[in-house]
Amino acid sequence: QISVLFMKKGNMQDFDYASYARQGFFQLMAVSIINLAIILVTSKRNEINKKITYTKIMNLCLAVFTLIILVSSFYRMYLYEQEYGYTFLRLMVYVSLITEAILIIPTVLYILDFKINLTKTYFVVIIVMYIIVNYINIDNIIAKRNIDRYFEDQTGTYELDMNYLETLSIDAVGQVERLKGTNDEFLEFQVRVFLDNAKTEV
């Protein structure tokens, strides 16, 4: 992960963006679960044998390595999103990665023998992130980001996935209206259809 992420090495031609991003995310999840299990078990045993500092060092290394994989996974998803745009699932991957990064903080404190209830702390962090996701306007953000990319693209290579935007809720209407009057006749037609359907739903 370090060689690919920081030294720009690795055999990248064997991956398309989708495979590269998905592999990074699921690798992170698998490694994180394994690392967490190791940290919990060994730290618990370390409480019984106070003299074991080697265990703490190894657990801290696990936390650092998890962070490196997290950064790599975030970078992979960023490349994927830059190529194909934003979707609900891709934003949720970002949320999961951010949550994972936050969870590393209490994990490190637990390794260093701070008196915290790790299970309750994890639960609180996850619930807070869940509440935040439910309060932000996801569909509006997705539409805004993709449409901004469409207008900012100077090369004409970015293809706005209007078919996906049409699946969004009426929260995206304000952003889609920005596309009215474009020179692309087919896109103009899709925008009209979306707005007409949104008016019908209202």
Q: Do residues 4 and 50 lie in contact, with contact meaning Cβ atoms separated by under 8 Å?
A: no
pLDDT at 128: 95
Condensed to tens digits (0 to 9), the pLDDT of residues 141-184 reads 998 888 888 888 766 667 788 888 888 888 888 888 888 877 77
Average pLDDT over residues 181-196: 81
How would residue 4 be classed by pLDDT, with cut points 50, 70 and 90? low
User: Is the alpha carbon torsion for 19, 24, 25, 28 positive or negative?
Assistant: positive
User: Angle at Cα 103 formed by Cα 97 and Cα 105, nearest 5°?
Assistant: 120
* C-alpha span between 177 and 83 (Å, rounded): 23
Identity (one letter) of the amino acid at 175? Q
* C-alpha span between 113 and 126 (Å, rounded): 22
Condensed to tens digits (0 to 9), the pLDDT of residues 100-110 reads 899 999 988 88
Phi, psi dihedrals of residue 22, rounded to the nearest 5°: -65, -45
Condensed to tens digits (0 to 9), the pLDDT of residues 50-81 reads 556 788 888 888 888 888 888 888 887 887 78
The stretches of 138-184 forming alpha helices (DSSP H) are 138-152, 162-165, 173-176
User: Which residue, among 81, 83, 102, 82, has the nearest Cα to 92 in the 3D structure?
Assistant: 81
